[in-house]
Structures are given as structure tokens and as C-alpha cells.
Structure 1
Amino acid sequence: MTQQSGSSLRETAEDCFRRGDLPGCLRSLQDSVRQSPADAKLRIFLAQVLMVQGDWGRALNQLKVIGEMEASALPMMHAYSAAIQCERLRAEVFAGTRSPLLFGEPLPWIALQMQSVALLGSGREAEAAELRAQAFEAAPATAGTLNGEPFEWIADADSRLGPMLEVLLNEAYYWIPFERIASIRVEPPSDARDLVWLPAEFRWSNGGEAMGLIPVRYPGSESSDDAAIRLARKTEWRSIGPDAYQGLGQRILTTDGPEVGLLELRELQLQPAS
């Protein structure tokens, strides 16, 4: 059998990725890395595909090697190593065993929402639904524009989150109420890792600014048997109570007007209630 060249293997990997064949992509990348172990770009691609697969341990190992090979890659290595650790914490939050950090004052409705998620994670759906309803009733509506289209209220379509947005800031995992955000700007995804965490520029309602990452997929998506879910190419919903749903796949932002997947978001302008 004729051995494929390194460039041919990379092209095969890229083609497999486009087609959603993640196992084929990984095989080609692993063969490429064995042929060219000092090629940092190959290892970066491999690390990103491992992130899409949710193979956090192997992704961390590749990031460590990349950081040792390329000093210029150290900022990326640190940022995404921290993102992986946040992802592990995130799974525990939705399992009901840990709590996220909160941005700003922990208002009563936010505490109710967090308690609802913890109850749902422990299998207490009815109690979770009751607290969630109380939280949503008390949460303020935040108006604004989504990619230029106006709305009177916005929420994550996943009922576990609703008026909250998950954000990775300063290497930590936060829940941030939409009312505390003035704007979000994002660029179109350009790398495989952007299908896991989308870089975003935030301006806060208090005037501050920050760069952060928004988890693109709902918790557990990386474990789905469906590659389209792992690649954030679709969203599936499961009922968790009356008019309440939790998602797998790409995050959806819903309003009384437009509704978009996170990867379609370019600019969100918000007008917090005074």
C-alpha cells in the first residue's frame, strides 16, 4: 500500500472534517503527526478536533506539546487549556454538583435559576420547574437589536439558562444576565475550536469591556453520537417540563423577533432596563 504524504493526509483530514467524518479526520491527523511530529500546525489542528470530540485529556496533552514547540502559541495554549478546565466545571454545574461564578450582584432571581439547574441535575424535574418559573417571572426583560433586528426581550432558548449567558472570562466560567451586557461583537468562526468556544468582545452595562469565549454547544453535546451535534451544525431539544426545553448542539438565542444560532451572531446590542 502506498503511504500518503503529510500534505495529502492533512487534505484528507480537512475533507473528513468538512464532511463531518470526525473519526476519519482524527485518523488522518494522527497519521500526519506521526509522519511530521515537529509540525505545530498539524498538532494545533489535532488539538482542535479533540476539543470538538470532547476528548479533553488528549487535547490538553497536545496543547502542552504545542506550547513547548512554539513560543508564539503559548497564549493560545493557555487560553484553551483554561477553557477545557472550565468545560469540566461546566459539566459539574449542570449535573448539580457545582456552581458557576456570577457577574455582578447575585440577585434573588439568579439564585432561583441556579437552584433550578441544580435540582434538574439531580433529577428533581418538578421542583426545578417551579423554581425556574419563579426566576423567569422575576427576571427583567432586556430589549435591543440582534444582528440589527430589534426585539423587546432576549433569552437563551435552553430553559436551564433563559435570561443568562454562559461566558468564559479571565480563565473562569461565568453566568452573566443579559441585563448586565451592553453589547457583544463576534467574528465569523474561522477555526475548528470556534465550534466549541466562540471568541467575543463584550461591553458591559457598567461601561467596562472584556474579551471572552462563549460556549457554542450546550452541555453534553461533545458526547453525542451525532457528529452534526458535536460540530454545532444543528440543535436538538428535550422537554424538561411545561414549555421548557434543554438543548444539544449549537446554542440558540431567541427573542420576540429574530432567533439565531450563536455561530450566526455578529452583533448584539442591549438596552438594560433602567
Structure 2
Amino acid sequence: MTMSLDARLDDVEGLIRRQPAVAGHRWTLFQLLCVTEQWERAIQQLQVFAQLDPQHAQAAQAYRDLIRAERWRAKVLGGLAQPGFIVEAPSWVEKLAEALRLTAAGQTEAADSTREAALDQAPLVGGRGTTHSFDWIADSDSRLGPVCEIITAGRYRWLPFSDIVAWEIRRPAALVDLVWASCSLTLVDGTKAHGFMPARFPVIAHTLHNSAMQDALRLGNTTVWTDIGRTGVVAQGRKTWATSAGDAGLFELDVCAFAHDANATLAGRVAVIATASRGDLDGTA
């Protein structure tokens, strides 16, 4: 029987009590704390890990930056902060951010109208992966839609799909890779961007009464969606793209090249994003 995340935490904490100077135990605990979104404790364990194993001090700093970016991400998705950008953001991206602020203020109707206006302007982007070919792609969480989340240089940023020519996403090799996936992107101007994509949507623990489901979401084994207003689709769990060919998980499109149609937009497709495989909190993929 698979151990729950809580049981795994208890197990490694027991190891640390018996062997507090073993750096590997601290690293395992750090990863579990990231998966369960216990950020303050994760930072504390990361600091101890770096003290016990100084050769990994640079990696520890990189993960501190990722935690800081993840916490900023939560503020952005909650409508309380602005995302960063790699290139100058078009007006429709600013409208997506404004829709989040309106939602946070309880102005759901205004948020819907603002998001619809953004999607009317967002260019349509098709592409091809190893196993998927599609005419359009968007984040399955409509708060993001036609923008890709990426953490570069320690900052959380939004990058329109229309600015991406290709990407490569490294498949997970460690538990923490289920939280942040290392990636390399090529932009339309030839720029190479290296960083991390969030591999999960934030899990809202108080909305879930099933601990097994909560673990599945935190480990990126499944996704659930819930609707807010006409256009709001909030996802939890595994990072999932909505495409014209159906949903695809982050690691299913680990290698992807994109094609751009300057005359097509996502107008009218918000209903598809909001209904394809979406429903109430019980819907999963």
C-alpha cells in the first residue's frame, strides 16, 4: 500500500530525530515539504541541508528563489500582485491580470467581461509535440489561458504562447520536480530562456475532504477544476493544457514546437476551455 504524504513526512522526521546530521534526510524532508506547500518549513530544512552539505549551497539558493517565486505566484493568481514578464506584455495580457484583480474584489461580472476581451485579442497558437498535434493551446486554468507560467532569474513571469517557438521540459527525476519542472524555451526573436515551469496548480486544502485526493493533487497525479462565473475555471493539481485535440499534462508535451496564426484569436474558445473536461470540484483528469 502506498504511504500517504503525511506518513512519509512522519517517517523522514523520525529519521532526522535519530540521525540529525545526515544531509540526505534533510533533502528528503525539504522535498516533501515543498510538495505539501509548507514553504516556511521547507526553507528552514533547505538552510540546514546547505549547512550540512556546503557543496550544494548554490542549488539551495536556487530552490529558495523558486519558493519565493511560488509564493508570489499565489498572490498573482489571487489578484493581489502583478506577474513579471520576459518581453513587453501586450494589452490583452494586462487584461488577464486585471480580471484576477476584479475577481479578488468580488466583481465577477466585470472580471468575466475583462477576460473575454483579453481572449478576443489573444493570438491563436497551434503546435506539435511528440504525441500530440493541435490547432490551439491554452492553460486549462482560464485565469491564465493563453499565457505560459515560467520562473526565470528567480522571478515568476507570464509569457504569451504567441511569443514561444519551442520548448523542452525535463521529465521528473526527483520528488521536487513534481513541483517545478526545469525547462528551456526558444522565443520568436530567437532568445533562449531557461528556467522552471510550475508543474502543479496550487491546491486549496480546505476545499478537499479526501486526504487521498489531496495527495493525488499535490503529487500531480490528477487535476480538478471548479467554475467561477462565466469564464473563470480554477484548476488544482497537475498542470494541464487545454488543446483542440483534448487535454494534455505538462510532461505529455515535454518537447513541443509551436505554429503561429496572426489572424486567429482565442475568441469564442473560452467556452471550450471552460467546459472541456471541466465541471465542479469532483471532475478529474
Partner Cα separation in structure 1 for residue 83 and residue 152 of structure 2: 12
Q: How far off its partner does 1:61 sit?
A: 0.6
SS of equivalent to 1:119: helix
Residue 72 of structure 1 aligns with which residue?
Answer: 55
Residue 246 of structure 1 aligns with which residue?
Answer: 234
CA RMSD of aligned residues (A): 1.7
Aligned counterpart for 2:79 among listed residues 96, 107, 129: 96
Aligned counterpart for 2:20 among listed residues 37, 44, 53: 37
The one-letter code matched in structure 1 to 2:233 is: Y
Aligned counterpart for 1:259 among listed residues 230, 234, 247: 247
Residue 204 (str. 1) matches residue 192 (str. 2): no
Residue 9 of structure 1 aligns with which residue?
Answer: none
Residue 139 of structure 2 aligns with which residue?
Answer: 156
**Runs of 4+ residues deviating >3 angstroms:** 220-225
Aligned-pair identity (%): 30
> 1:1-274, aligned counterparts within 5 Å?
19=2, 21-221=4-204, 225=211, 226-242=214-230, 244-273=232-261
The one-letter code matched in structure 1 to 2:107 is: R
Q: How far off its partner does 1:37 sit?
A: 1.6
Partner Cα separation in structure 2 for residue 33 and residue 180 of structure 1: 46
Partner Cα separation in structure 2 for residue 20 and residue 116 of structure 1: 40
The one-letter code matched in structure 2 to 1:259 is: D
Partner Cα separation in structure 2 for residue 264 and residue 37 of structure 1: 39
Residue 6 of structure 1 aligns with which residue?
Answer: none
8 Å contact kept, 2:203–2:217:
no
Q: Deviations over 1:93-121 (max 9, x none)?
A: 12211101022122111111110111122
Show structure 1 runs of 5+ residues with no match: 1-14
Q: How far off its partner does 1:222 sit?
A: 6.5
Q: How far off its partner does 1:243 sit?
A: 5.2
8 Å contact kept, 1:147–1:267:
yes
Partner Cα separation in structure 2 for residue 109 and residue 268 of structure 1: 24
Partner Cα separation in structure 2 for residue 44 and residue 216 of structure 1: 19
Q: How far off its partner does 1:204 sit?
A: 1.4
Partner Cα separation in structure 1 for residue 132 and residue 14 of structure 2: 47
8 Å contact kept, 1:54–1:222:
no
Q: How far off its partner does 1:20 sit?
A: 5.2
Partner Cα separation in structure 1 for residue 58 and residue 254 of structure 2: 24
> Normalising by the residue count of structure 1, what TM-score does the alignment of the two structures yield?
0.88
SS of equivalent to 2:177: helix
Q: How far off its partner does 1:272 sit?
A: 3.3
Q: Which moved more, 1:235-244 or 1:220-229?
A: 220-229
SS of equivalent to 1:201: strand
> Normalising by the residue count of structure 2, what TM-score does the alignment of the two structures yield?
0.85
Q: Which moved more, 1:221-230 or 1:151-160?
A: 221-230
Partner Cα separation in structure 2 for residue 217 and residue 271 of structure 1: 25
8 Å contact kept, 2:132–2:253:
no
The one-letter code matched in structure 2 to 1:254 is: A
Residue 8 of structure 1 aligns with which residue?
Answer: none
Show structure 2 runs of 5+ residues with no match: 263-285
8 Å contact kept, 2:200–2:236:
yes
SS of equivalent to 1:142: strand
Q: How far off its partner does 1:132 sit?
A: 0.5
